[in-house]
Structure 1
Amino acid sequence: MLDSSVRLPVSPRAGRFLVLLGVFVCAACGLVYELELVALAAYLIGDSVTQASVVLSVMVFAMGIGSLLAKRLRHRAPMWFGLVEAALALVGGCSAMALYAAFAWTGDSGEVWAGGSRYLLAVFSLAIGVLIGAEVPLLVVLIQRIRRQDADGAVADVFAADYVGALAGGLAFPFLLLPVFGQLTGALFTGAVNAVTGCALVLGLFGRGLSVRGRWAVLTANVLVLAVLASAAVLVGDFERAARRAVYGADARVAVQTGVQEVVLTGGRKRSFDLYLDGRLRISGRDERRYHRALVAPAMRGPHARVLILGGGDGLAAREVLRHRGVRRVDIIELDAGVVRLARHDPALSELNGHAYRDPRLRVEQAEAFRRLRSLRATYDVVISDLPDPGITAGTKLYSVEFYGLAARVLAPGGRLVVHAGPVSARPRVFWTVEASVRAAGLRTVPYPSPLHISPPPRPLYTSDALFFF
C-alpha cells in the first residue's frame, strides 16, 4: 500500500506540477544521452545507421529491464529516485568522454576501435537504458503520493510530460548543446542538470518523508556526482587536446568545429599535411595531387569553359581545373563554410591548393549540393563530384539516381560528369552500385583506375557521360 500521508511543503496542485516538471527535465536529459551516444558513435566508428540502430535498440531493451527492476524500489520511491538520477547523471554525463578516451587510447586504427570499443558503446547504452527505464515507475509512485488518483491517470500524466520532455531534449541537442558546448561539455552539462533536478525534487518536495539516512544518501550521492562532472568540465579542454594528439599525432595544429563537422589539420609542409573531417582522413599531402589530377584531368578532355565542382571546398580540385587553358569560370558548391575559410586563410592548405581562391574565375556558394542542383539553371561543360566517400551513410543521397539525374540536367551538350566511386578492390559492391545509379540516370559510364594506374587516362567521350575512377 502506498503511503498517502506525505507532508508536502507546497499545495498538492503545486507539488503535482513540480513532479511533472521533473519528469519533463529528466526525459529531456535522457534523450540527450541517447543522441550523444548515437552522434559520437557515428563520428568515431562511422555508418550512422548501424550505430543508431545499435544504441536505440539496446536502450529500449534496457528500459524494459529497468522498469521491471524498479518494482522492487517502490516502497522507498523518493530515495531511490534520487539515487537513480544521480547514477544516470554520472553515467550519461561521462559517457562521451569515456567513449572518446577509448577511441583515442585503446588502438591505432579504426579497426581496433570498431572491434573492441563497440562493446563499450553497448555497455553505456545498456546502463543508461536501465536507469531511464527505472524513472517512470518511480515517478508514477511519487505523483500518486501527492494526490491519490487511478493508475491510468497517473501513468498518462507522467508519459505526457515524458514525451514532451523528450521533444525538448531532441531539439536542444543539435540546436543548443552542440553549437554552444560541443559534444563532451554538452554531455557533462546535461548530467549536471539531471543531478540537480533529481536531488531538488526529492529533497525539496519529499524530504520530510525521508529518513535521515535516506536524505544524506541522496544528498551525498548527488554532491559527489556534481563534483565529478564539474571536475571533468574544468579538465575537458586538456582532455580534448591530449586525446586529439593521441588520435592525430603531435603535429595536430588546427581543430575547428564548424557546425557541419569537425575539421582537423595536421602538419605544416605539403607532404606532411593532412586534413581530417569528423575523424576521417580526407586529404593527405603525400598523395592528394595524384588523386585530384586523376579526378579532374580525364573530364577536362573536351570543352571545359564552365566547370562546376560539387564539394571540394578545400580548393584542391579547383587548383587542377584552373591549370587548364580555356577555363572561364569555376563554380564551387560547398556546404561547409568553415572548410572554405581554412582553404583561403590557412597557410599550409592555401599553399597546397595553389591559392586557388585568389583566382577571379573562381566563385564559391555555400549550399547543400543536392538542394542547390534542384534550383540551378546554368549549364556546365564539366561537373566534378568531389564529395565524401560513398561508403559514408550520411552522404548516401549524394550517390543516388536522383542526384545524378539533377547533375545530368546541368550538363551542356557534350558535357562530362566525373564521380569518385571507389576503391573497387576494397568495396566492389559500393563501386558497382554507384556505376549502376549513374547509368540509371541516363548517362554512359566510363570507369577508370586509381591514380596509381592512371597513365594513360581514358579517351573522353564527347556526349553527356560520367567518368569515375576507383
Structure 2
Amino acid sequence: MIEPHAPAPPGVRPDREPPPPGPARLPVRPATGRFLVLACVFVCAACGLVYELELVALASYLMGDSVTQASVVLSVMVFAMGIGSLAAKRLRRFAAAGFGALETTLALVGGCSAMALYAVFAWTGDWGGGWAYGPRVLLVAFSLAIGVLIGAEVPLLMELIQRIRRQDAGGAVADLFAADYVGALVGGLAFPFLLLPFLGQLTSSLLTGGVNVVAGAALVLGLFRRDLTCRARCLLLVANITVLGVLASAAVLVDDFERAARQAVYGDDVRVAVRTGVQEIVLTGGTDGRSLDLYLDGRLRFAGHDERRYHEALVRPAMSGPHARVLILGGGDGLAAREVLGHPGVRRTDVVALDPGLVRLARTDPGLSRLNDHVFGDPRVHVARGEAFHWLRGAPPATYDVVVADLPDPGMTASTKLYSQEFYGLARRALAPGGRLVVHAGPVTGRPRAFWTVEATMRAAGLHTAPYRVDGRDPGRDAGRTARPDTAGESRAPRDWGFVLATADTRPPLRLDRHVSPRTLTQADLTADARAAEATRVTGLRPSTLVHPRY
C-alpha cells in the first residue's frame, strides 16, 4: 500500500526548500537591528544612483549626445536589475554572506567604472576598427554588471529584515522601498551639487565605492556576523580590505592617471587644463611658434592654424551693412569679437558667454589673448554671463544690427534648443530694422540633413536665408566628435563649415565689407561657396522646435 505524502506546512510549497528557521541572532535589539538594515538600504541606494549618474555623465562627456547615453545606461541598467532580482532568489538561504559578497563586488565594479571607461577611451579610442566602439561596449557592460548587482540587493535585504522580525510582506516592502527611494534622492542630488563639482568624476566614483563597501561590511560583519562561519567572516573581511585598498590607491593616483590620460588624448603639448563649473578647458600649443588649439570637454573648438578662416567666414558676410551694435552668442574665446572689431564703425559688441572661466582664460592666457588681439580689454566689448536662449528672452527688441551665433554644432543634445524655431524667433526679435543674423550650422558635406534643417528652421521663424560654406582643412569645428591631434581621427573630420546668413525682410546679399582687406576669404570664394552649398540642398525638411528636435 502506498502511503500518502504528509501535507506541507502552510505558506511553504512542497517543491521548494523552506527558509532558514528561526530569527537572526543579533548583537543589538531587534528594533535597532531593523533600523540599521534600513540605514544600509538608504546608503546602498544612494551609491547605486551615483554609479548610474556617473556613467551617464562620463559617457555624455566622452561620446556626446547625452539623451542617447542616458537612454542606454538607464534602460540597460533597469533591465539588468530585473535579472539581478531573479538571480538573488538562489542566495536567500545565505542572505548575509550573499549580501556581503554582493556589496564588495558592486563597490569594486562601480567605484572603478569611471576610471576604466576613461582609460579605454583615452588609450584605445584612436586605434580604429573595432576599437573605436570600445567605450560604448564597456559602457553597456558596466551598465549590465552594476544593474545586476543593484537588482540583487533588494531581495537579500528583504530576507535580512524579515529575519530580524517577521511582519507582513506589504509592510516590509513599504519600509524597504521608502528607505531605497530616499537614498536615491540623496544620491541623485549629491552627485551634481557636491561630488561632481568638488571631487570630479573619477574621485567621486571611487569615494562612492568606498562608502558602498564600508556600509555592506558594517551590516554583515557587524549585525549578522553570527550567521556566517568563521571562514566566511575571514574571507569577507579580507575581500573588503582588498577592495578598500584598491579604491584608496586609485584615489591617490587619480591625478597622475588624469595627466597620463590627457596626454594620450591631446598629445604631449598640453599647456593648460582646467575644469570650470561648466566644462573642461584644455589648451595645447600657443608658444614657440606652435599652433594654439582649444578643446572644450574633449572636443576641438578651434585649431589655431586655420581658425581665422572659420571666424572670417562666420563674421565678415554679416558685417556687410550697418554694424554699429553687434551681439555675439557664444564666442567666449574672443575670436569672433576680434573679427567684429576689425570692421570700422563698431560702437558696441555684447558677448553672451555661458562659461566665465573661458572668458577669463581668453583675457589672461598669453597665447589665447594674443590670438584674439586682447579684445576683452577693448572698452567697446561688454561680456554678459548667461545661456544664450535665456538671455535672448530678456534682450531688448530691435537693438542689434548684427547677431552672430557662434555656438556648438546642432548635433549635440545640449545645443539643440539653440537651433530651434523658438530660438531663431527670439534672435529675430533682437534684430534692428535691416539687421542680420548669421549662424554656424555644422558641416555641409558631412551632415547635409542637419545643415538644411537649420536653414529650414530659420525660414520657419520668419527669416530669409542665404546659406553658404567654406572649405575646412582642419577638424576644428567638429563639435560632435572628440578630436585628437596627430591621429587617425582627423580623417573623420568635416571637409567644410556651413553657415546661414539671414534677415527679417528680404534675402540678404552675400558680400564682404570692402573697407576690410581679405585674408582668407574673397568675394569670389564666397560666391562659389554659396553655389556649392546650394548644390547639396535637401528639400522637404521640417523645422526643429523645442518639443520636437530634429537634429
TM-score range, shorter chain: over 0.9
Secondary structure (helix, strand or coil) at the match of 2:261 reads: helix
Deviation at 1:116, TM superposition (A): 2.9
CA distance in 1, matches of 2:408, 2:63: 16
Q: Which of residues 148, 158, 176 is equivalent to 1:130?
A: 148
Match of 1:83 in 2: 101
CA distance in 2, matches of 1:110, 1:348: 33
Letter of the 1:314 partner, please give it.
Answer: D
**Structure 1 residue 440 corresponds to structure 2 residue 463:** no
Q: Which of residues 349, 373, 376 is equivalent to 2:392?
A: 373
- Is the contact between residue 300 and residue 382 of structure 1 (CA under 8 Å) also seen in structure 2? yes
Deviation at 1:47, TM superposition (A): 1.4
Secondary structure (helix, strand or coil) at the match of 1:450 reads: strand
C-alpha distance after superposition, 1:151-199 (max 9, x if no partner): 2221221111111111111111110110110000010000000001110
C-alpha distance after superposition, 1:18-76 (max 9, x if no partner): 11111111011001111111111111111111111111111111111111110011111
Deviation at 1:354, TM superposition (A): 0.6
Deviation at 1:429, TM superposition (A): 1.1
Letter of the 1:176 partner, please give it.
Answer: L
Deviation at 1:5, TM superposition (A): 2.5
Q: Taking structure 1 as reference, are residues 431 and 214 closer, same or farther at Cα in structure 2, changes over 3 Å only? A: same
Q: Which of residues 161, 175, 178 is equivalent to 2:196?
A: 178
Q: Taking structure 1 as reference, are residues 111 and 408 closer, same or farther at Cα in structure 2, changes over 3 Å only? A: farther
The 4+ residue runs of structure 1 with deviation greater than 4 A are 109-114, 451-454, 457-462, 464-470
Q: Which of residues 361, 372, 397 is equivalent to 2:417?
A: 397
Match of 1:417 in 2: 437
Range that drifts further, 322-331 or 9-18? 9-18
- Write out aligned runs for 1:208-247 (5 A): 208-247=226-265
Q: Which of residues 290, 295, 299 is equivalent to 1:280?
A: 299
CA distance in 1, matches of 2:401, 2:193: 39
- Is the contact between residue 416 and residue 467 of structure 1 (CA under 8 Å) also seen in structure 2? no
CA distance in 1, matches of 2:320, 2:508: 13
Deviation at 1:446, TM superposition (A): 0.5
Deviation at 1:462, TM superposition (A): 8.6
Q: Which of residues 386, 391, 401 is equivalent to 2:406?
A: 386
Letter of the 2:88 partner, please give it.
Answer: A
Secondary structure (helix, strand or coil) at the match of 2:81 reads: helix
CA distance in 1, matches of 2:122, 2:206: 19
Deviation at 1:8, TM superposition (A): 1.6
TM-score in terms of structure 2 length: 0.82
Letter of the 2:402 partner, please give it.
Answer: V
C-alpha distance after superposition, 1:288-307 (max 9, x if no partner): 00000100000000110000
Q: Taking structure 1 as reference, are residues 461 and 177 closer, same or farther at Cα in structure 2, changes over 3 Å only? A: closer
Match of 2:353 in 1: 334
Q: Which of residues 26, 32, 37 is equivalent to 1:8?
A: 26
CA distance in 2, matches of 1:61, 1:77: 23
- Is the contact between residue 416 and residue 464 of structure 1 (CA under 8 Å) also seen in structure 2? no
Q: Taking structure 1 as reference, are residues 130 and 344 closer, same or farther at Cα in structure 2, changes over 3 Å only? A: same
- Is the contact between residue 328 and residue 352 of structure 2 (CA under 8 Å) also seen in structure 1? yes
CA distance in 1, matches of 2:200, 2:445: 37
- Write out aligned runs for 1:262-341 (5 A): 262-269=280-287, 272-341=291-360
Q: Taking structure 1 as reference, are residues 460 and 211 closer, same or farther at Cα in structure 2, changes over 3 Å only? A: closer
The alignment of Structure 1 onto Structure 2 pairs a total of residues equal to 468
Structure with bigger helix share is: 1
Secondary structure (helix, strand or coil) at the match of 2:224 reads: helix
Range that drifts further, 290-299 or 373-382? 373-382
Deviation at 1:16, TM superposition (A): 1.1
**Structure 1 residue 105 corresponds to structure 2 residue 118:** no
Give structure 1 stretches of 5+ with no counterpart: none
Secondary structure (helix, strand or coil) at the match of 2:305 reads: coil
Match of 2:428 in 1: 408
Deviation at 1:263, TM superposition (A): 0.8
Match of 1:161 in 2: 179
CA distance in 1, matches of 2:128, 2:411: 15
Deviation at 1:217, TM superposition (A): 2.2
CA distance in 1, matches of 2:173, 2:501: 70
TM-score in terms of structure 1 length: 0.96
Deviation at 1:422, TM superposition (A): 2.1
- Is the contact between residue 443 and residue 466 of structure 1 (CA under 8 Å) also seen in structure 2? no
CA distance in 2, matches of 1:314, 1:45: 23
Secondary structure (helix, strand or coil) at the match of 2:442 reads: coil
Secondary structure (helix, strand or coil) at the match of 1:439 reads: helix
Q: Taking structure 1 as reference, are residues 466 and 49 closer, same or farther at Cα in structure 2, changes over 3 Å only? A: farther
User: Sequence identity, in percent?
Assistant: 72
**Structure 1 residue 449 corresponds to structure 2 residue 469:** yes
Larger Rg: 1 or 2? 2
- Is the contact between residue 415 and residue 465 of structure 1 (CA under 8 Å) also seen in structure 2? no
Match of 1:19 in 2: 37
Q: Which of residues 209, 212, 227 is equivalent to 1:194?
A: 212
Letter of the 2:462 partner, please give it.
Answer: G
Letter of the 2:114 partner, please give it.
Answer: A
Q: Taking structure 1 as reference, are residues 223 and 49 closer, same or farther at Cα in structure 2, changes over 3 Å only? A: same
Match of 1:355 in 2: 374
Letter of the 2:248 partner, please give it.
Answer: A
CA distance in 1, matches of 2:426, 2:439: 14
Give structure 2 stretches of 5+ with no counterpart: 1-18, 473-494, 511-529, 534-551
- Is the contact between residue 45 and residue 114 of structure 1 (CA under 8 Å) also seen in structure 2? no
Letter of the 1:146 partner, please give it.
Answer: I
**Structure 1 residue 259 corresponds to structure 2 residue 277:** yes
CA distance in 2, matches of 1:264, 1:176: 23
CA distance in 1, matches of 2:62, 2:502: 39
CA distance in 2, matches of 1:347, 1:112: 41
Q: Taking structure 1 as reference, are residues 96 and 111 closer, same or farther at Cα in structure 2, changes over 3 Å only? A: farther
